[in-house]
Every structure is written in C-alpha cells, then in structure tokens.
Chain A
Amino acid sequence: MKCEEVAELLPDYLQANLRADQLHNVEAHLEHCADCSEEVVIWKKLSLLPIEQPGPASRERFEAMLQAYQAGRSSPPARGSEWPKRASSWNVFHWLRSPLGAAAWSVALLAIGIFAGAHLAAPKPPSPDLADMQKQLTSMKQLVVLSMLQQQSASSRLEGVTWSTRDQQLDPQVLTALLHTLRYDTSVDVRLAALDALGRHGRQPQVRQGILDSLQEQQQSPLVQVALIDLLLEWRDPEAAQRLQALQQTPNLNPTVRQRAEWAKSKLD
C-alpha cells in the first residue's frame, strides 16, 4: 500500500471505522512507514492537551441570562386578551349571513385583494419579523444587564456593565441603572467601568445631566473623580467649567483631584 492510499483511509482508521481487510493493510503500512505512523502519533498526542475550565462567573452569568429571559416571557401579553371574549359573545356567522354582512364581506375581500396585489408588487421592505426578533434580543440583553448590575459579587456587576457596552442604543432604564452604579456601587472598578460605558452615550441628555450631577455629589474615589473630570473635558460641556469651579470649593478635596480640576478648567478656557 502506498502513502497516498493510506492517507485516504487514515481518517477512518483514527476513528476505528475501517473494515478488517483495510485495517490490516493500513497497519502493515504503518509498521514500515515512519511518516504515516508519525501522523497517527500526533493524533494520539492531541489527547495530552488539557481540558480548560471556564471561569466561575460563567454559571452566574448563565443564571442571570436565564432569569432575565424567563422574567421577560412570564410578563402578560399587552394586547389580545379582550378579543376572545368579544368574539364569543358576538354571533359572527349569523351576522355574515345577512345581506349587509354579505356586502361587507365582499368589500373586505376586494380590499384584501388590492392590498395583497400592491404589497406583492412593491419592493420588499426589510422583514418585520427579523426586526422584531432583533428588538427582542436587544431588550433581553438589556434585561440581563439590569439583573447583573444587582448581583452580589463585584465581578458579576462588572460583567453586567461590560455587557451594556455591546448595544449601540440603551434603554433609559439601563442608563438609569448605570448612573446608579456610577454613584453608589461599592467597588471603584465597577464605578469606573460604568462611567466608561456611560461615556459612549454622552449625546443623551439624561446621561449628560447624570454625569454632571455625580461630579457634584460626594464621590468617594479620587480615581472616579478624575475620570469624571476627564470625560467632561472631552465632551466640552457648557456647564463643565461652572461644575468644576464648584468642585474645587468642596472642603477636604483630594489634592490630585483639585489639581486635575484646575487643569481641566484651564483647558476649557
């Protein structure tokens, strides 16, 4: 047997899928051919590669996603609940048999025909189903974010913030949750990440106002304060200079923050 012939059978040999005669031929070849037997060796060696384990937060994230999904599913449908009651109390078939009903029925059929013709002839707009599905997916992701921001562990909350950065458009509820995180989260890392995420949505008045307000409030961490100052400078917000002035007047302000505020003010001027 030649190497080319063995090459064809080798994948099945490795999966133990060969007939007895084929197996015999391949094994006889492998005994003499170093190149082909090396290929079997490397295949076997692949089993040495370790099985890696995902991080411990993986399960938590999955639970949060599942919870959010189920919460979304169990909410009652907004429309349609009244319809069956009305339909049952209304004798539809009886009404259709009357002359007026028959006329209405004909007009309705004509309208459906015209509508269908116009619709089929016109160029197709993007599928509403697809748009709806994308919308649902986005809202579900945002539910995940909301749920993760309320987790006990800082790493889960951090992941929640990271998840929020995946969508271009954020729900006002998610933005509010992120602003809340920026102000009150116990972990500085999470607060910094939230600020970073909010920075992408600076065009929204809600975010802009929220960031300006967080500078005024008693933000404990100098790191976050400096990041806030930098963001305001980047946005060149008209109110920034006034807010920085007010910040500088805060008693017991960290010297680095005071210096940064001074520098930012000079840049704004």
Chain B
Amino acid sequence: MLQVRDGAGEMLGVLFDRYQTPLFNFYSKLTGDRMLSEDLVQEVFLRILKYRQSYRPGTPFRAWVYQIARNARIDHFRKFPKQIALEPEMIPPVIPADSAQERQEVELLQRALQQLPEEKREILLLCRFQELKYEEIASLLGCELNTVRTRIHRAIHELRKNFQHLTQRTMLKRAEATATENTPPRGGHYEV
C-alpha cells in the first residue's frame, strides 16, 4: 500500500487482486445485488487512488479499505435511495454444495441472513467473512469494543431464530407435500 500511496499506480493492481473478491462478497451479501456490488468495488478502488495520501503508514490497511467501502455504499444509497425492499430472490442461486441437504441449508442460511436488519448483517459480515478484529470493527463503526461484542451476539441470536423459523417452515411444507402424495384419490378403490 505504501507504494500505491507514493504514486506507483501499478501496485494498485496487486491490491485489486487481493481485495476485489472479499469486497465483492461483502457488498453482494449485504445488498443481494451483484451489479451494484461490482460498481461499488470499482468505486472503492477509484477512491483508494484518489485518497491514497490519507492512508497513514502503520495503521491496518484492511480497516482503511473497509472504511472506504462503507462510505462508498452510504454515499451510493444517499444518492439513490433504495426503492425496492430486498427480496431473498435477489441472491444469485449459486450454491455449489455437496449434498441436497447441504444445498438446502445454504439456501435457508442465505435467506436468514438477508432477513436480518442491515446493521446486523453488516457487523456479521465484517467479523465472519472479512475477518476484521473487534477492535477494527469498533473503530470502523465508531463505537466501544463492548458494544461491538453485544451487537455481534444480538446478530447471531437473531440469525439463529430466523434460520430455525425458516427450517421449520420448510419441513412443514415438505411434510404436507408428502401427505398429499400418499393420499389415494377419493373413491379410486371402488372403481376397479
């Protein structure tokens, strides 16, 4: 990063290779919109170029990038307020899981995650997928370390409830479907 800061624009390519997928995943899991996520990733790198002088050597680069990433998203939604409520269907159905059961779990988990309020989803993504330390998240969100811990616990708690609820609903639906299949048509016995 120091080389990028001091003007070696080519080095940004290295950073792009390293960060484009994590950033893309951060945005896509947060917004459920692939095209917007790609746009925002480009915006982040444009901002890294523009504001590279503001990076202080010795501070964690990852936290700096996510600060830019959060701001880029906030600015985007300030300019273009969300008009459509986020639907679970917006998540691309790319689920390379081994078994049918695992595939279903992943799908339910994605839906449970999307049902979380945005700030809870964001904090989970930051610590679970972007692997930011709690201290980094605290400085990113501008809150106390203990607040981060509490928020993370609340997010996990709600995610578990959503997931359980969705699993139960799916099982009920499946049981109903099986019951309908196994019921013989009325009067069919006497027609033979």
Which chain A residues have a beta carbon within 8 Å of chain B's beta carbons? Answer: 7-8, 10-12, 15, 38-39, 42-43, 45-46, 48-55, 57-59, 61-63, 65-66, 69-70, 73, 133, 136-137, 140
Contacts and interface: CB of A to CB of B under 8 A. Distances in A.
A51 B25 contact: yes
A183 to B, nearest CB: 27
Nearest to B102: A48
B48 to A, nearest CB: 11
Given A58-B41, A61-B42, A62-B42, A51 B156 contact: no
B153 interface: yes
Contacts of A54: 20-21, 24, 37-38, 41
Contacts of A7: 153, 157
A73 B148 CA distance: 41
Contacts of A58: 20, 24, 38, 41-42
A12 B94 contact: no
B42 A69 contact: no
Contacts of A38: 160, 164
Contacts of A73: 9
B55 interface: no
A3 to B, nearest CB: 10
A148 to B, nearest CB: 11
Nearest to A61: B42
B109 A48 contact: yes
Interface in B3-37: 9-10, 12-13, 16, 20-21, 24-25, 28-29, 34, 37
A70 B7 CA distance: 10
B86 interface: no
Nearest to B103: A48
Nearest to B160: A42
B99 to A, nearest CB: 11
A133 B50 CA distance: 9
Contacts of B97: 48, 50
B21 A53 contact: yes
A49 B153 contact: no
B100 interface: no
Contact of B157 (A39, A45, A53, A62): A39
B38 A45 contact: no
B21 A11 contact: no
B156 A50 contact: no
Contact of B156 (A42, A63, A69, A70): A42
A46 B109 contact: yes
Nearest to B17: A59
B172 interface: no
A151 B97 CA distance: 37
A69 B106 CA distance: 41
Contacts of A61: 38, 42
B20 A50 contact: no
A241 B148 CA distance: 66
Contact of A65 (B46, B152, B157): B46
Contacts of B37: 54
Contacts of B95: 50
